[in-house]
Chains A and B, each alone.
Chain A
Amino acid sequence: MSTATTAQQAPYIEEPLVKGNHTFASITKLITDLNTRPTPKAWYVAFGIANMVFMLMLVSIAYLIWNGTGIWGLNNTVAWGWAIINFVWWVGIGHAGTLISAILFLFRQDWRTAINRFAEAMTIFAVFCAGVFPAIHVGRIWVIYWVFPIPNQMAMWPNFNSPLLWDVFAVSTYLTVSVLFWFVGLVPDLATLRDKVTSKTSKIVYGILALGWRGSSRHWWNYEKAYMILAGLATPLVLSVHTIVSFDFAVSVIPGWHTTIFPPYFVAGAVFSGFAMVLTLMIISRKIFGLKDIMTDDHIEKMNIILMVTGTMVGFAYMMEFFIAWYSGVEYEKAIFILRATGPYAWAYWIMIACNVISPQFFWSKKLRRNVGFTFVISIVVNIGMWFERFVITVTSLSTDYLPSSWAYYSPTMWDMMLYIGTFGFFFTNFLLFLRFLPMVAIAEVKAIMPEANPHNYDVKGKYVEPKQPEPPKLQPVAAEA
Chain B
Amino acid sequence: MSKTQISQELHGILAEFANPGELYHAAQAVNKDGFRKFDTFSPFPIHGMDKAMSIRKSKLGWIVLGHGLLGLTGALSMMYFMMVVDYPINISGKTFMNVPAWIPVTFELTVLLSAFGAVFGMFFLNGLPQLNHPLFSSENFKRATDDGFFLCIEATDPRFEADNVRKMLKKLGASNVEDIYEE
Q: Is the CB of B46 within 8 A of A453?
A: yes
Q: Residue among B20, B39, B55 with the most chain A CB within 10 A? A: B20
* B168 interfacial contact with A, CB 8 Å: no
CB-nearest residue of chain A to B50: A221
Interface residues in chain B, defined as those with a beta carbon under 8 Å from any beta carbon in chain A: 17-25, 27, 39-50, 52-53, 55, 58, 60-61, 64, 78-79, 82-83, 86-87, 89, 91, 94, 98, 101-102, 104-105, 107-109, 111-112, 114-116, 118-119, 121-123, 125-126, 128-133, 135-136, 141-147, 173
A selection of 14 A-B contacts at a CB cut-off of 8 Å is A24-B43, A24-B146, A159-B83, A161-B94, A212-B128, A212-B130, A216-B39, A218-B39, A224-B45, A229-B114, A230-B115, A452-B19, A453-B47, A458-B20
Q: Is the CB of A240 within 8 A of B94?
A: no
Contact for A216 among B40, B64, B121, B146, CB less than 8 A: B40
Q: Is the CB of A149 within 8 A of B82?
A: yes
Contact for A459 among B21, B39, B52, B128, CB less than 8 A: B21
Q: Is the CB of B39 within 8 A of A157?
A: no
CB-nearest residue of chain A to B152: A216
Looking at chain B's contact residues, is the secondary structure mostly helix, strand, loop, or mixed?
A: helix
CB-nearest residue of chain B to A177: B115
Q: Is the CB of A448 within 8 A of B83?
A: no
Q: Is the CB of B82 within 8 A of A219?
A: no
Size of the chain A interface, CB-CB below 8 angstroms: 74
* A214 interfacial contact with B, CB 8 Å: yes
Interface residues in chain A, defined as those with a beta carbon under 8 Å from any beta carbon in chain B: 23-25, 28, 149, 155-161, 163, 165-166, 169-170, 173, 176-177, 180-181, 183-184, 188, 191-192, 194-196, 207-208, 211-226, 229-230, 233-234, 236-237, 240, 244, 247, 443-445, 447-448, 452-460, 462-464
**Known contacts A211-B131, A212-B129, A222-B122, A169 near B108 by CB under 8 Å:** yes
Contact for A160 among B22, B82, B129, CB less than 8 A: B82
Measured in the bound complex, the distance between the Cα atoms of B89 and A163 in whole Å is 17
Smallest Cβ distance from A237 to chain B, in angstroms?
Answer: 5
CB-nearest residue of chain B to A449: B44
